[in-house]
Each structure stands twice: as structure tokens, then as C-alpha cells.
Structure 1
Amino acid sequence: MVYSILISVNAYLLVGGSHDPTTNHALAAALKSARSAGVPKDNIQAAMNRITNPSSQDAQQSATYEAIGPGQVGLIIECLTDNSTRTAKKVREILSDNNARLAPVAYLFSRCGQIRLTPADGTSYEELWDLAVDAGAEDITEIEADESEFGSAEVLITTPPNLLTTLASKLSKHTLHSVELAYIPTEASESELSEPDQRSLEELMEELEDSQDVVRVWTSL
């Protein structure tokens, strides 16, 4: 869990394009999650240093893999690594061990930016809607308090990838829980997985997410 959060800090340093959390709101959200999870300050700083002052041994680069999993579910596997050969080998091993394989599946997804936030006190959903739409948002969804892991009503805003950081900046007075580039299924799946396929997919996802270089796994479900 701790390592996964530190990898996320590194990923959002790259996504936001700035090492300053006051201007890189993706990074600020990742740092907040790391602190909330109790990640030691020294570990967080070390993760940031690997991006801001990389050596030839630990310079980070992103890598993305496409795969077909159990039940013909499409997978996009995002990684951040200092050794692309090691990462590619590990991803292939995990897929092979779980009845999955590398295959082109990008056509099953659309790329977008997503911001998940809790509105500041006194801000209505309508006000957020107007601000987000004026800034180029594509979709805005309310999340009820009983469906939120934070126990309060939230808003999920979807935006074109190139507008993610701009919109996050405009919304910075609100509590930003996540600011990320996402892969969203282009069409909702109309078929349900069999129980064996569902279990196999869950086991595959768990093993991938436990791998040290994997940042996020997206599915076509």
C-alpha cells in the first residue's frame, strides 16, 4: 500500500508537469493521500527526489501495456519504472499466470481527465457545474455521501486530457481528492462475467496492483 502511494506521487509529478504542489494539483492530491495513509515524510520526499533529481540508476519513465484478461475483459496497465525490461517481463509473467495476454485493446477505451472533489462550504452543485462547463468539462456527476469513501457528497468532473491541469487549477479552492488521466470504457459492458472469470479477473488485478512498478490498472467493464 505504502509503495503504491509513493509510485502515485511519482506518477502525478509527471502528469502535472511541475514539482510544486501549489501549482501541480495532481501532485497535491497524491501527497494528501500519502500523508493520510501515514506514509513517512522522508519516504515521500525520497519519492519526489527521484523525479526532481534523478540519477542514471533511478530515473523514472512511464510504460503502458494493453492486455486481454479473463472473460475477454480489456486491461490498460500503467506503470512507472526505472527498468523497463524488468517491468515488461514481470507484467508478461503475471498475465501468463492468470490466463491473460498482451493484446491491443486501446480501442475499448477513451482517454480523459478526471477530478474528484468535495465542494467548498457554500458552493452549490449548480455553481460547480457552471464553472466546470465554462472551463471545458465534458461531464459532471454527483456522488452521494453514502457512496463516498470520505463520508461527504462529492463531484466527479470529466474533462479532455489537455484541460485537466487548467480545470484543476480553477477548482483548487475545493478539496481535491484525485486529479488524474483516466482510461474510460467507450461502451458499457452488457454482459456479466461468469463467477470463475470474475474470480480470475480479481486475482489478476490484485497481483498486478501488488507489482512494484504498476501505478493503475483500468478495465473495460
Structure 2
Amino acid sequence: MMITLSLSACMLRQASLCIPGPSRTVLRGIHQSGARCSGHNRWSKIRHRKGAADSAKSTQFSKITNEIYLSLRPPASPDPALNPRLSAILAKAREVGYPKSNVDTAMNKALNPNEGAALQSITYEAVGPGGQVGMIIECLTDNSNRCVSRVKEQLNKYGGRMSPTAFLFERKGVIKLSLDPGTDRETAFDTLFEVAVEAGAEDVKVVLPTEDVHDQVGGFEVITPPSEVSTIASSISSPFKVIGVEVAYLASTPLRLPANEEDGAADELETGEGLGDVISEEVADKVFSLVEGLEDTGDVVKVWTNVAEV
């Protein structure tokens, strides 16, 4: 993914975050979800403790290359001004020092698929160690045999296995937005809410500031139908900055970690409506070892799990 919140921030409830006004709850069924506490919980602590696979520059560059390919799938435009997903990826590339020559090569390959080995998107379904956690593994490869071999190798290594899991997820568009420093969050939400409703979004979520030096302002996430994510992203302007656009697999009933005293109020959210069964920290630890092993495999673009990020 990630986000670290103060305990007081995690104590916020949906009711305290909703913007007043009757139209807020009836227009197209859209609503504001509670603040997403996705970094100051035990699930994120496990990942941080074990280290993100993307920390290696070579792996990070490989992921950016794949994201460029995916952002240029027809009928997507090669013009960043008309393709918010590509624009966000190029901004990320500049931030991490991804060479411009690599950008040009990746874009040329994406726009001229008949030159060289053809890339194909492959999605695998699996369950993690312990059999509780569902996983969707998205890959982009020029060799399907090599790709499935690498995925199976990691699954076997960490105790996972191929198994149908798509029924555990919903495919949604996700637009990640940062907020200009000094902008009033409630006013900004009002503005974003109206734009999102008009454009056809399904949900708006608050993302509170983190301790990450690159994300100390926070922002929002807009959930959309998958086919409309780029159109809706293009309708959003200042004071918001689009920092990510993707089609995601979101858990229908997210699993959760058990509460403990260390996490305090953050765990109160983990017992909220819409969350599923509890998994142990031991299982979560093993699952993240598997996720990191998969994400460190060149052909793997993204691994989705049905563990709650709240």
C-alpha cells in the first residue's frame, strides 16, 4: 500500500464524520465512509516490521513499468492530461527517480504491442496460509508458463494454494487524492462530495494524515464503478491532486485482527459493522510473508487480500 494515525483520530466514527444535510444520504446512495485507519493497526505493523517488498529500487522500478503498461490499455489515451491514471504514475516515477528513458521505452512498448514479446494480464486466485485469507494476484508477463511457475513457487513456499476466491471481493475503481496544505478538510469534503455525486461515484472515504514524510496532509479516496474510474478522476480538480487511480479488488467482508490493549481505540473500529471473522496475528504474519514473496516476483503487479485496512 501505509497510513499511521493517532489514537484519537482512530476513535472517530462515521456519524461524527458525515457532513450534515439530508441530500448527503440519498443522492445516488453515496455516503462518506468513516476515516480509514490503515496504518496504525496491527495488520500494517506486521507489514512494516517485515519490510515492504517495494523498498528495493529494482522492484519498485519494475512495478512502475507494469503500471505504465496497465494505464495505457486501450482505449486509454497516451496523453497524461487525458489519462489521470497515467498522470499519477508518471508523477510517482519522477518522485522515485525512475529514468525518463525507461518511461519512453515502457510507453512505446505499451502503445506498440506487436513489437517484441507481447505482454498479457493474468489473474490468479489463492488462499493464504491457514486457509482463511483470500488473495487475488494480478500479473503482467510476456511468459505465462514462467509466471504461473513463480506464483506457485511462492504459494508452496509459504503455505498458500490456488483456490477460487473472487467471490470474496468486489471489483471497484479507486481514486486516491491528496489535499493541498492549509485546505479546510470539511469544506474540501463538501466540494468533493458534490463533484463525486454528480460524476457517478459510489463512495467517498476520508484518509487521515500519516507520519510518513510524504503523506502528512491526508486526503480522500473515491470509490467508483470500474469502468468509470478514469472519467470520474478527470472531473476532480483543485484543491485536490490525483495521486493514484486503479481498478482494485476490495473485500466484500474484510477479515480482521483480534483487538489488544496496545492498539487501544484503533481496535474499536475493527469490530465495526461489515467486518468479518478474526484472524490471528500469526496467520497475518505468514500471509504477509507470502504477499511480499509474491510482490517481489517481477511478473506480479499487485496482490489483494481480504484483510481489513482499518
More deviation, 180-189/11-20: 11-20
Alpha-carbon distance in 2 for matches of 1:100, 1:56 = 36
> Is the contact between residue 66 and residue 102 of structure 1 (CA under 8 Å) also seen in structure 2?
yes
Query: Cα 1:62–1:83, aligned 2, differ >3 Å: closer, same or farther?
Result: same
Matched, 1:171 2:231: no
Structure 1 counterpart of 2:227? 162
Alpha-carbon distance in 1 for matches of 2:170, 2:74 = 17
Matched, 1:59 2:118: yes
Q: CA deviation at 1:54?
A: 2.7
Query: Cα 1:73–1:87, aligned 2, differ >3 Å: closer, same or farther?
Result: same
Matched, 1:141 2:205: yes
> Is the contact between residue 161 and residue 181 of structure 1 (CA under 8 Å) also seen in structure 2?
yes
Amino acid corresponding to residue 295 of structure 2 in structure 1? E
Q: Secondary structure at the match of 2:298?
A: coil
Amino acid corresponding to residue 113 of structure 2 in structure 1? P
Alpha-carbon distance in 2 for matches of 1:40, 1:75 = 32
**TM-score normalised by the chain length of structure 1:** 0.92
Structure 1 or 2: more strand by fraction: 1
- Higher gyration radius (CA): 2
**TM-score normalised by the chain length of structure 2:** 0.67
> Is the contact between residue 15 and residue 26 of structure 1 (CA under 8 Å) also seen in structure 2?
no
Unaligned residue ranges in structure 2 (runs of 5+): 1-59, 256-275
Q: What is the aligned length?
A: 221
- The match for 2:170 among 91, 94, 110 is 110
Matched, 1:39 2:98: yes
> Is the contact between residue 117 and residue 142 of structure 2 (CA under 8 Å) also seen in structure 1?
yes
Aligned pairs for 1:16-95 within 5 A:
17-55=76-114, 57-71=116-130, 72-95=132-155
Matched, 1:195 2:281: yes
Matched, 1:213 2:273: no
Query: Cα 1:194–1:114, aligned 2, differ >3 Å: closer, same or farther?
Result: same
Amino acid corresponding to residue 175 of structure 1 in structure 2? K
Structure 2 counterpart of 1:129? 193
Alpha-carbon distance in 1 for matches of 2:171, 2:188 = 28
Q: CA deviation at 1:113?
A: 0.3
Alpha-carbon distance in 1 for matches of 2:210, 2:150 = 38
Q: Secondary structure at the match of 1:22?
A: coil
More deviation, 49-58/155-164: 49-58
Q: CA deviation at 1:50?
A: 1.3
Task: Summarize deviations over 1:36-93 as a string: whole Å, max 9, x none.
Answer: 0111111121111111123453322111110011132000001111112211121112
Amino acid corresponding to residue 166 of structure 2 in structure 1? A
> Percent identity between the aligned chains?
40
Structure 2 counterpart of 1:183? 249
Alpha-carbon distance in 1 for matches of 2:160, 2:237 = 40
Q: CA deviation at 1:3?
A: 1.3
Q: CA deviation at 1:175?
A: 1.1
More deviation, 196-205/132-141: 196-205
Alpha-carbon distance in 1 for matches of 2:305, 2:204 = 21
> Is the contact between residue 179 and residue 217 of structure 2 (CA under 8 Å) also seen in structure 1?
no
Alpha-carbon distance in 2 for matches of 1:126, 1:138 = 15
Q: CA deviation at 1:16?
A: 6.6
Unaligned residue ranges in structure 1 (runs of 5+): none
Alpha-carbon distance in 2 for matches of 1:12, 1:213 = 16
Q: CA deviation at 1:209?
A: 0.4
Task: Report the aligned-residue RMSD.
Answer: 1.9
